[in-house]
Structure 1
Amino acid sequence: MENLINYAIQYGLSENLIQEIISNGKKIEIKKNENILNVGEHSKYIYIVIKGGFVSQYFDDHKSKFRTTAFHIDNYHPFMTQPESYFSKESSDTQIKAFKNSEVIGFHSSALEKLSAKHKIFDEFCNTHIIGALIFINQIKSKLIGLPKDKLYNYLLEEHNPITKNVPSKYIAEFIGVTPQWLSKIKRTS
């Protein structure tokens, strides 16, 4: 939490504004393997991971299984929601699941809209992070589509090391589209 507060101050948000923002959030504890968002729900919140980590998992109806599509860790891409559901106000085709005991602050969309309307700098702060998150998602998806599986793992090692250090291997394997055994082989040769 302290890192996020310091980052917000560096961005130009005053300590009073930061306290106002925090007071509009709801602190939530999530146990390992619990979902903060389920498939079929409407994502009405943006969460900031204070402690722990989460995976976003798309549900493939045809295969009747989940596939990891994103990672959110307290020290790495801590802002999370299901963007399509949040912005279009439709049901989510994704679940967001804690991979270890975690703590978040949840901000309802109506609270964020009020804060954005009231504070121009907060609105700019949100827009900057939304654009940054969308660019990141696009970059990762491009690598996921374009790189061979072993090169994709090496890319994660080199460019997104917090993922490979903090996220359980089964979710990384699911993200890459390989079995955990195949990922173990890649790890041994990397």
Structure 2
Amino acid sequence: MLPSNILQKFNEYYKNDITQDFLNEIEATAMYVEVPKGEILFTAGNTKQIFLIISGSLVQFVVTPDGGEKAIMFHTESFLPFAGNSFIGIDHSSVNHYAKVNEDIRAVVIPYDFVSNAILKYPFYAKQVYQNTLLYIQSLIQFQNHLTGLTSLEFLKWLLEHYGFLFQRFQSKDIASFMGITPTWLSSLKHKTCRTT
């Protein structure tokens, strides 16, 4: 069951397109959760769900076969606010995934079955899911291309210029992990960046 203020957010987000049937279905199906910093929000093995972040942030990690962990994406209420194990392909995967709460999170948990059925029933919802999925894919590819094509220093400058909020909301160790470098090396690169600006 969803609180009335969350249903109001759906109304505001979808404006005139939303239907009462959709609101009734999502109210009956979705859940509202509050999860404190440091908790695991989901893993690849959980029931398939999508989390819509209302406030707070999380970091997604992969666990390599040797037990190492690497940050692979960041999420906030305004940057890629949809996250969940329904986005994770586990077929033929040699790594495990999980998402850790970076700042206390308030979120709506939407079962994957609801999403797949609602896409067929509600055109306004299908359009929004398509746009959000496209943005997610574009962001992943953009990060991957820049991370692969630039030096660590160049990537850091690009990240600071276009995604500076990450440094205000996420820990340096997780950003360093995402970049594939140590926190000490990230600190050194930041000093170099300050000297060249």
Structure 2 match to 1:58: 62
Conserved 8 A contact 1:60-1:66: yes
Distance in 1 between the 2:22 and 2:105 partners?
22
Structure 1 match to 2:14: 8
With over 3 angstroms needed to count, the CA separation of the structure-2 counterparts of 1:32 and 1:161, relative to structure 1, is same
Q: Secondary structure at the match of 2:191?
A: helix
With over 3 angstroms needed to count, the CA separation of the structure-2 counterparts of 1:78 and 1:181, relative to structure 1, is same
Distance in 2 between the 1:38 and 1:16 partners?
33
Q: Is 2:88 aligned against 1:84? A: yes
Distance in 1 between the 2:75 and 2:10 partners?
14
TM-superposed deviation, 1:13: 3.0
Structure 1 match to 2:49: 45
TM-score by length of 1: 0.84
Deviation string for 1:34-77 (max 9, x for gaps)?
Answer: 111125x1450111111111001011113x21100000011221
Structure 1 match to 2:36: 31
Q: Is 2:187 aligned against 1:162? A: no
With over 3 angstroms needed to count, the CA separation of the structure-2 counterparts of 1:32 and 1:116, relative to structure 1, is same
TM-score by length of 2: 0.82
User: Percent identity, aligned pairs only?
Assistant: 20
Structure 2 match to 1:109: 112
Distance in 1 between the 2:153 and 2:25 partners?
42
Distance in 2 between the 1:120 and 1:189 partners?
50
Deviation string for 1:152-189 (max 9, x for gaps)?
Answer: 11111111122122111111011011111111122222
TM-superposed deviation, 1:3: 7.3
Please point out which of 157, 180, 184 is paired with 2:183.
Answer: 180
- Amino acid of the structure 2 residue aligned with 1:38: T
Conserved 8 A contact 2:65-2:95: no
TM-superposed deviation, 1:91: 9.8
Conserved 8 A contact 2:65-2:94: no
Larger gyration radius, structure 1 or structure 2: 2
**Cα RMSD (Å) of the superposition?**
2.5
Give the paired residue count. 184
TM-superposed deviation, 1:114: 2.3
Distance in 2 between the 1:177 and 1:5 partners?
41
Please point out which of 138, 141, 146 is paired with 1:143.
Answer: 146
With over 3 angstroms needed to count, the CA separation of the structure-2 counterparts of 1:29 and 1:7, relative to structure 1, is same
TM-superposed deviation, 1:6: 4.0
Unaligned runs of 5+ in 1: none
With over 3 angstroms needed to count, the CA separation of the structure-2 counterparts of 1:66 and 1:76, relative to structure 1, is same
TM-superposed deviation, 1:92: 7.3
Conserved 8 A contact 1:47-1:104: yes
Q: Secondary structure at the match of 2:88?
A: helix
Unaligned runs of 5+ in 2: 1-5
Conserved 8 A contact 1:43-1:92: no
